[in-house]
Amino acid sequence: MALHLIDPDCDLLIALDATPGLLDSVQEQWSRLQHDPERESFGARLSGRILPVLADCLDWDLKPPTNAQISFAVSIAKKLQLEIPSGVLQRRSDMAEFLDQHCSLVRALPQARCSESRPRPVTQKRNRSRSDSG
């Protein structure tokens, strides 16, 4: 027996093989919630668990950008005073292209304009024992 993930708009039909016991339990849960306002909450919880796994199964270029890529893109966009196109925030491949295209432009900026990207000098902290502090 299988649970099906269906999207008729793109002719998507994925059979999720499950044990009969699990399918029976899912069916009973859904039946219990038939006239219950919690049915929507159950669907939201299920969605919250399934969608990240589904996204993780995609090819690398179709996955969403990483947090590090997004942070870097935001930094570049601020320095170059431009907006990040929405598609860039949707797919890792588009984000990689954006970063490749704009990273060299940031490096070419005059020092004064991109000074916030330079690391701050590290200062030596003096180790103080309790006898030094008093």
Quote the Cα angle for 100-104-105, to 5°: 115
Q: Indicate the pTM of the whole model.
A: 0.59
Confidence at residue 120, expressed as pLDDT on a 0 to 100 scale: 44
Helix axes 20-32, 38-56, angle to 10 degrees: 140
Is 85 within 8 Å of 115 (Cβ atoms)?
Answer: no
Q: How far apart are CA 129 and CA 131, in angstroms?
A: 5
Give 10-residue mean pLDDT values along the chain (134 residues): 91 93 93 90 93 93 95 93 94 95 86 44 47 49
- Three-state DSSP state, 14: strand
For the chain, the domains span: 20-57, 67-116
Confidence at residue 111, expressed as pLDDT on a 0 to 100 scale: 57
Burial class (CB in 10 A: 0-12, 13-18, 19+), 41: exposed
Q: How far apart are CA 93 and CA 58, in angstroms?
A: 12
Q: How far apart are CA 130 and CA 134, in angstroms?
A: 7
